[in-house]
Structure 1
């Protein structure tokens, strides 16, 4: 299917059976995935795009099994007319129930022992080359065979990179290293012949969006209206602040001449009615600006932020999932269908 960011309507997907990316993919349950995707399509018939989180760590441990499960999953989505945006790497880390992903040490070897008196890049090149060999094998095994696969509508190079105050520091060596790594990932995908657009799922930072824009074909961001507040993103805690942020992101995309996609959105809530209201505010504002979206997330899962308290630690984001553990739809959440593209 052709990728039109403005018409994207769908969900992020993590299976219900795992507690982390590595767990999900090392114990991949294809039958349960097929059941969950089919159920989601019944609840939301216009669902056309899935942002599907991968695990480079699982690929390293069993490349052939990972590749087979990835191929089978693409088939499941395609059978329901759903294009896929695979998330290749993840930089968001969560102390309540960590998903896993790329630590800073892998992007900048030696960073954990660095002090301001040291040269941060003094011994980086050899170690970086070794890490890139591992990551490069993963990209070659996942992106390479699917570089012309119409079931893959875009590649999300990394979820929420640059997620620290260093994003604002032009002189930060950490910022320089992470941007260098993101550029390497983008260059690798293009070298492998990826015909699909590349994107990066930025957290709600205009600076992060601006810094990653030169690397991508589609600008992606995570506009969460955080109704219960957030200490690090206070600009997203009011409707007025949320909508002002959207307008600035639209302006950045317009100036760059690139599509804009909200590939994570709709903040969580334990209360179903509150979650529906947050959904209405969020998706109404996105639709009014012609911004497509993949909401986070379809399905109850044991990973962070996608389960009720009885299943494990729950963060300030509360419950983001739309479908409960028993397969039922959370009350009122059929309203999502009202925001399907016309």
Structure 2
């Protein structure tokens, strides 16, 4: 096997300020183990602000919970940042990211950092965050940049500075696996918030997303870039892609996507994306009530050699063990019998022992 350092050397000339070729992306991927992990936020944080702001950064909990991930064989994590944390404390955020990377590296886990995000609260506010809404899924998660940041072009230089500063600080850092430049960029946001209309959201994001890719590439990262597809019916080259999806597929070095449905749907999505000839990363999956489970999805991912990063790790202030419909029907008096996401209780007990046994067994099998 080619070492990861050799792989980085072989593609470094192609990874500066332009998209990787498909063969370069595949060479990088062939040097990776089968990537398995979770979208990670410590149980003590309700959102990206509480994870990364100085007052609430919690390395003790982060280190403990990353240890649980390593203990079941996980070697990757997807971790969300926020532009407003950098705007208020740029040097502090860089220091805390470096601290996080040190802890992750000690556990053999490499993160995919997410720079921007279009989901949930469209009006992000730094500082102390509200308490979780009882019985409600992701009741405090914040968009980045949010509605104002999208609409106001005068804020875009700040967003550019953030992207270049964060990526530039870790552009040559082997502890970073990849950069996910924008999570579900054309998502209207969801929940009960007042959100942008779909047409306006797509238009604004389609204008900004190519610039974000350019900003990140200008920092010369050795890591690949991606932005994940997440909705609409057909992602194949002949599919009816919207403007944002076309940008995602045209700009991503490696193709990432989300799937929270039955294994037949996952297999269909993989088949749609194979013709692009690039490595595939499933960066969100596992919603038990939707038919997306570890026992079904991991088997598909292992067979197809698709990286597998589920949503939710330790149940905590994000409350993502609650289903999406808890925004309309909060689980206040009774907890759901079936957890929607998440793997562990806050004290480290598995929600289902059979699941962690399966993850541990599959991640320790030799790579095909």
TM-score by length of 2: 0.71
Establish whether residue 101 from structure 1 lines up as the match of residue 143 from structure 2: yes
Report if the CA contact (8 A) 1:11-1:295 is conserved: yes
Whether 1:151 aligns to 2:175 is yes
Distance 2:209 2:75 in 1: 28
**How far apart, CA to CA, are the structure 2 residues paired with 1:223 and 1:204?**
9
Three-state SS of the structure 2 residue aligned to 1:87 is strand
CA pair 35-223 structure 1, distance change in 2 beyond 3 A = same
Structure 2 counterparts to residues 200-279 of structure 1, below 5 A: 200-205=227-232, 206=235, 207=241, 209-225=245-261, 239=262, 242-243=263-264, 245-268=265-288, 278-279=293-294
Q: Flag structure 2 segments of 5+ consecutive residues without an equivalent.
A: 8-27, 122-135, 190-197, 236-240, 324-329
Poorly superposed stretches of 4+, deviation over 4 Å: 208-211, 306-315
- 1:327 corresponds in structure 2 to 348
1:77 matched to 2:97? The reply is no
- Residue 179 of structure 1 corresponds to which residue in structure 2? 206
Please provide the CA RMSD for this pair.
3.2
Q: Tell me, which stretches of 5 or more residues in structure 1 are unaligned?
A: 110-126, 166-170, 226-238
Q: Secondary structure at the match of 2:49?
A: helix
Match of 2:362 in 1: 339
**TM-score with structure 1 length normalisation?**
0.76
Counterparts in 2 of 1:163 and 1:78: CA distance versus 1, 3 Å? same
Aligned length: 296
Q: Give the distance between the partners of 2:333 and 2:211, measured in 1 at CA.
A: 36
Closer, same or farther: CA 55–307 of 1 in aligned 2, 3 Å: farther
CA contact (8 A) 1:107 1:178 kept: no
What SS does the corresponding residue of 2:227 show, helix, strand or coil? Answer: strand
- The offset of 1:178, in angstroms, is 0.7
Distance 2:246 2:268 in 1: 11
After TM superposition, the structure 1 stretch with the greater mean CA deviation from structure 2, 197-206 or 155-164, is 197-206
Compared CA separation, residues 310 and 173, structure 1 to 2 (3 A): closer
Q: Deviations over 1:88-131 (max 9, x none)?
A: 1111116851310236534542xxxxxxxxxxxxxxxxx41x22
Distance in 2, Cα, partners of 1:34 & 1:304: 20
